[in-house]
């Protein structure tokens, strides 16, 4: 039985999206992409998305945090 909520489907395929604030989201392949979000990768299984996020999590900081750190001169350029 297919889950009624596409976000809860562990067998589904998902995009990883990013917005202008450098926030990330998993987005079901079968749903239209939301305005203001850009595709980071092609659709892939949920578990592959989680692995990608885990591998990149140290670099996944909200844009306002990065901007604040750069203004303080402590950002990693």
Q: What is the pLDDT of residues 45-55, one digit of tens each?
A: 999 999 998 88
Global pTM value: 0.68
Q: What's the pLDDT score for residue 21?
A: 84
The confidence band for 66, taking pLDDT boundaries of 50, 70 and 90, is: low
Which range scores top for mean pLDDT: 19-28, 36-45, 66-75?
A: 36-45
CB 43 within 8 A of CB 29: yes
Residues in the chain: 77
Q: CA-to-CA distance for 22 and 54, rounded, in angstroms?
A: 16
Enumerate helices (H) and strands (E) in the chain, giving the number of each.
2, 3
Q: CA-to-CA distance for 61 and 64, rounded, in angstroms?
A: 8
Distance separating the N- and C-terminal Cα atoms of the chain: 48
């Amino acid at each position: 039985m297919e889950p009624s909520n596409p976000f809860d489907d562990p067998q589904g395929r998902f995009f990883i999206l990013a917005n202008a604030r450098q926030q990330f989201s998993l987005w079901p392949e079968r749903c239209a992409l939301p305005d203001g979000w850009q595709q980071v990768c092609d659709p892939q299984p949920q578990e592959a998305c989680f692995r990608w996020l885990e591998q990149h999590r140290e670099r996944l900081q909200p844009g306002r945090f990065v901007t604040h750190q750069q203004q303080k001169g402590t950002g990693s350029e």
